[in-house]
Chains A and B, each alone.
Chain A
Amino acid sequence: MTEYNFAYLDEQTKRMIRRAILKGLAIPGYQVPFASREMPMPYGWGTGGVQVSAAVLTPKDTFKVIDQGADDTTNAVSIRTFFQRTAGVATTTATSDATVIQTRHRIPEEPLHEGQILVYQVPIPEPLRFLEPRESETRKMHSLEEYGLMHVKLYEDISRHGHIATSYAYPVKVEGRYVMDPSPIPKFDNPKLGDMAAIQLFGAGREQRIYALPPYTQVVSLDFEDHPFEASKADHPCGMCGATDSYLDELIIDDLGGRMFVCSDSDYCEARQATGHKGKDAA
């Protein structure tokens, strides 16, 4: 293997990505095109997020990667290892110790603080894509703030299911201007997007888009007056730590259909257990 530049990408590429990030921060929620590079991993593994992380990481950073809330999935481990090797940065699983957190599908339960950066892996950045496949048209809709179509999507949801069934990638409006896809996080996480102390960066590799939310940005989930947005989750406490305020995964625990609900944020759950919190299924 040849030697890599710090964090794999060459300096010119990182500068190009940083410019896109800065533009994104200056226009919250606006999708900035960037020249996505080939990364030594498949697209599904979040190459957009990886490129954004590569552009913001410094040797002093402490890096954390979560996939569906967990630090130990194959995807999370390989991205963490990738930056350990190519950037030599310290890594952690503790949310509060990390300075850069790359994530797929979740926002950590523990509130983030100033100075932290949360990097999202985004598969489809365009929230209007579902009903309007023409890129030229969606770009015009964003520039002219023509967002009626977004509510058509929610209308269809209610007419089909009796309620807004969209539970992931729930669309939001940023600072009263751009409609944004928050990536496939559960809608339970949507309220955390707004007024967050950390910087939030979104990278879509295949689609070559970067967008961003600077700290303390107003983010509102779209809804109807008579079908208001609800940040729902399974109505159970965590079986391991007893938390009632965290997003839960449902696990099948035996062949007899036995089920258990556990925090999807493994760091949050372990930290609670370490300080003596105990759920009904804990050993």
Chain B
Amino acid sequence: MTPLLSVQGITKRYGAHIGCADVSFDLYPGEVMGIVGESGSGKSTLLNCMAGHLTPDAGQVVFDTRTDGPRDTITMSEPERRMLGRTDWAFVHQHARDGLRMGVSAGGNVGERLMAVGERNYGDIRDKATDWLGRVEIDASRVDDRPTTFSGGMQQRLQIARNLVTGPRLVFMDEPTGGLDVSVQARLLDLLRGLVRDMGLSAIIVTHDLAVVRLLADRLLVMKSGRVVEAGLTDQVLDDPQHAYSQLLVSSVLQV
């Protein structure tokens, strides 16, 4: 089977400082990959390199495109990459306000990607937006309200709806539950797990919360100082970590 995403030798430096170094892995359709590691270990740098928000200094990010098969997204043209960014790819930011238009209604936020790919029927766009609000458990009556009037958890769910409405094949998430109350986190995780299953989504989730990957990720990458120190099936890595750093990471969580 062709991997949906094949990452090879991704390296990103900030001056002399290493953001991430020589990261390689394959992601297969329907798979969820978790990336864990302490603060500053290079998780966001890696994610942003893969999603086209940062240009790595070395490496390839090969995506299995619908029309042309596997293509290196780093060397493809910017218009092509941005087109992927609003069709087959989705990006969920940690802070909902980075991923939403706060001055636009919930319906407009969800409808934006539809309009960006050429949908021009107001009624259809609104119906799809309303349907998606329902799928992320936001009442349809809020469709014309701005996200500024939403709670943090609702904003995050709206951001997810806005990203998934065009049926992307790959979702990048950076700490999607970060900054939310524990009970709100649990509900969001349940929702994400349901969506990932129902839509057969492939996803890459960055988090420092091992409970998140335990619930969502099929496989894990453990990062330290910009490098992958351990990779494997989630349960294996969490229950029987091999690398000393992974052992520390797992045990420190168990102590909490």
Binding site for B on A (CB under 8 A): 131, 144, 146, 148-149, 151-152, 155-156, 158-160, 223-227
Contact, CB under 8 Å: B79 / A151: no
- Measured CA separation A159–B101 after assembly (Å): 16
Q: A159-B144, A160-B144, A225-B121 are in contact. Are A148 and B104 (CB under 8 A)?
A: no
Total chain B interface residues with beta-carbon distance under 8 A: 24
Contact, CB under 8 Å: B116 / A224: no
Q: A146-B116, A151-B120, A226-B121 are in contact. Are A159 and B82 (CB under 8 A)?
A: no
Q: Which residue of A lies closest to B121 (CB)?
A: A225
B112 at the interface (CB under 8 A from A): yes
- Measured CA separation A149–B112 after assembly (Å): 7
- Measured CA separation A225–B125 after assembly (Å): 11
How many whole Å from A157's CB to the nearest CB in chain B?
10
A146 CB contacts on chain B under 8 angstroms: 82, 116
Q: Which residue of A lies closest to B146 (CB)?
A: A156
- 5 closest A-B pairs by CB: A148-B116, A151-B115, A224-B122, A148-B115, A225-B121
Contact, CB under 8 Å: B113 / A148: yes
A144 CB contacts on chain B under 8 angstroms: 78-79, 82
B24 at the interface (CB under 8 A from A): no
In B134-149, the 8 Å CB interface with A consists of 143-144
Which single member of A148, A160, A226 contacts B112 (CB below 8 Å)? A148
B215 at the interface (CB under 8 A from A): no
Q: Which residue of A lies closest to B143 (CB)?
A: A159
Contact, CB under 8 Å: A227 / B122: yes
B111 at the interface (CB under 8 A from A): yes
Interface centre among B103, B120, B122, B125 (most CB of A within 10 A): B122
B8 at the interface (CB under 8 A from A): no
B117 at the interface (CB under 8 A from A): yes
Q: Which residue of B lies closest to A159 (CB)?
A: B144
Q: A144-B78, A152-B111, A155-B125 are in contact. Are A225 and B120 (CB under 8 A)?
A: yes
- Measured CA separation A152–B111 after assembly (Å): 7
Extra inter-chain contacts (8) besides given A149-B115, A152-B115, A155-B108, CB under 8 Å: A146-B116, A148-B117, A149-B116, A152-B101, A155-B125, A159-B108, A225-B121, A226-B121
Q: Which residue of A lies closest to B118 (CB)?
A: A148
A158 CB contacts on chain B under 8 angstroms: 122
Contact, CB under 8 Å: A224 / B104: no
How many whole Å from B115's CB to the nearest CB in chain A?
4
A225 CB contacts on chain B under 8 angstroms: 120-122
29 contacts between A and B (CB under 8 A): A131-B101, A131-B103, A144-B78, A144-B79, A144-B82, A146-B116, A148-B112, A148-B116, A148-B117, A149-B112, A151-B115, A151-B120, A152-B104, A152-B112, A155-B107, A155-B108, A155-B111, A155-B122, A156-B104, A156-B105, A156-B108, A158-B122, A159-B108, A159-B143, A159-B144, A224-B121, A225-B120, A226-B122, A227-B122
A159 CB contacts on chain B under 8 angstroms: 105, 107-108, 126, 143-144
B121 CB contacts on chain A under 8 angstroms: 224-226
- Measured CA separation A226–B105 after assembly (Å): 20
- Measured CA separation A146–B86 after assembly (Å): 10
Q: Which residue of B lies closest to A164 (CB)?
A: B122
How many whole Å from A26's CB to the nearest CB in chain B?
22
B123 at the interface (CB under 8 A from A): yes
B111 CB contacts on chain A under 8 angstroms: 152, 155
B125 CB contacts on chain A under 8 angstroms: 155
A131 CB contacts on chain B under 8 angstroms: 101, 103-104
Contact, CB under 8 Å: A226 / B108: no
How many whole Å from B158's CB to the nearest CB in chain A?
15
How many whole Å from B151's CB to the nearest CB in chain A?
21
- Measured CA separation A146–B123 after assembly (Å): 22
Q: Which residue of A lies closest to B113 (CB)?
A: A148
B101 CB contacts on chain A under 8 angstroms: 131, 152
Contact, CB under 8 Å: A155 / B116: no
Q: Which residue of A lies closest to B77 (CB)?
A: A144
